[in-house]
Amino acid sequence: MTVPHPRIAPLGDGALTITWSDAIDPDIEIAVRRSLSAIRGKFGDQVEVVPGYTTIAVHYQAADWTYPSLRDALTPVLSHPGETAESTIGRLVEIPVRYDGRDLEFVAGQVGLSVGDIVARHTATEYRVALLGFVPGFAYLGPLNPALILPRRSTPRPRVPAGSVAIAGAQTGVYPADTPGGWHLIGRTTAVMFDPDRAPPALLAVGDRVRFVAED
């Protein structure tokens, strides 16, 4: 598809949103990553950028920018973002998983596959980190194998243990901390997704490629 030129709109008086599309699309995600690298390269710490699936939010200080001045400074960068290795290839991160999640049998029943088939499909895909959010270090990974797509649980659990590997919709992810959660738990990992004393604190960054590796 042809990637459309993005729209810019204010997100209050301290941020703006750059929007490529209202629907998720792999080409749009590439455009977002390219522009993300370009904005970070050009503006450094002057602004704070937050990627979404089809958007980038840019937070700024009123002392440094007005909305029109920042919009005008961003426009040429968005027209010619250029290419970087970070935006095109991405880093590969492998995450070891013990597939013994408490929802594994339920998921198997719902999608009509054996547990072995679910593990095979979940480990076969190389996922991309589209964005982080929900809690620090939670990376939204996709796209999930279509045979594994299920709606979220109708009632979220009040507490999902840190390290739980989960699926919902066309996404998969790992809970970095004990939090409430509505995704289906299929396994757990010992990988530390978020550690404030580590640099960088989040194991995954936008644009990373992720592969889950089954452990016995």
Least Å from the CB of residue 201 to another protein? 6
5 vs 59 by CB, closer to another protein: 59
- Site for another protein contains 84 (CB under 8 A): no
- Residue 169's DSSP bridge partners are 150
Which residue in 116, 214, 210, 203 sits closest to 171, CA to CA? 210
- Site for another protein contains 117 (CB under 8 A): no
Residue type, 131: L
| Binding flags for another protein, 132-171, as an x/- string (CB under 8 A) | xxxxxxx-x-------------------------------
Least Å from the CB of residue 147 to another protein? 22
Residue type, 126: E
DSSP structural state of residue 150: B
Least Å from the CB of residue 7 to another protein? 9
State how far the Cα of 150 lies from the Cα of 202, in Å rounded to an integer: 27
The three-class DSSP label of residue 186 is strand
User: Where on the phi/psi map is residue 156: left (φ > 0), alpha (ψ -120 to 50), or beta?
Assistant: beta
- Residue 184's DSSP bridge partners are 167
- Site for another protein contains 92 (CB under 8 A): no
45 vs 216 by CB, closer to another protein: 45
The tokens 């209050």 sit on which residue? 12
Among 24, 113, 150, 214, binds another protein (CB under 8 A): 24
Least Å from the CB of residue 89 to another protein? 20
The answer to whether 149 touches 140, Cβ cutoff 8 Å, is no
30 vs 108 by CB, closer to another protein: 30
Binding site for another protein (CB under 8 A): 9-17, 19, 22-24, 45, 48-57, 59, 62-63, 66-67, 131-138, 140, 176-179, 194, 196, 200-202, 205-206
